[in-house]
Amino acid sequence: MKLETLVRELDLKVSCAEGYLGKEVRGGYVGDLLSDVMANSKEGDIWITRQVHQNIVAVASLKDLAGIILIQGSEPALDTAAKANAEGIPILVTDLPAFEIVGQIYKLIKP
């Protein structure tokens, strides 16, 4: 499923890198511990987190993730947004808690 479809279906706010919503979402990963995300996420995952600092962009780029969803209305820090735009890493925002947005994503991407 394309990232743009997730944005539309789940009414996500696009905070950064809007031009990169054509990326394919193959799965997802939830976590706030960067080392855990680096060790266990997979290429094409959408990452759901509460972290807003610029290191999330570095991890998403390193792992070739489809994008990042910030939960509970969190917004990326200014330096994070700048880095995400420069590296083409979409950052999306939802007001929902992680448990709810993950359930909705799972229903959309798993047959």
Domain count, the chain: 1
What is the span of the domain harbouring residue 50? 3-109
What order do you get walking across the sheet with 91-93 strand by strand? 13-16, 91-93, 67-70, 45-49, 27-30
pLDDT along the chain (111 residues), means of 10: 96 97 96 96 97 97 98 96 97 97 93 68
Are 9 and 108 in contact, with CB atoms under 8 Å apart? Answer: yes
**pTM, full prediction:** 0.95
Q: Give the model's pLDDT for residue 2.
A: 96
Q: Give the model's pLDDT for residue 110.
A: 82
Q: Give the model's pLDDT for residue 61.
A: 97
How, if at all, do strands 45-49 and 27-30 pair? parallel
Question: 104: helix, coil or strand?
Answer: helix
| CATH code, 45 | 3.40.1390.20
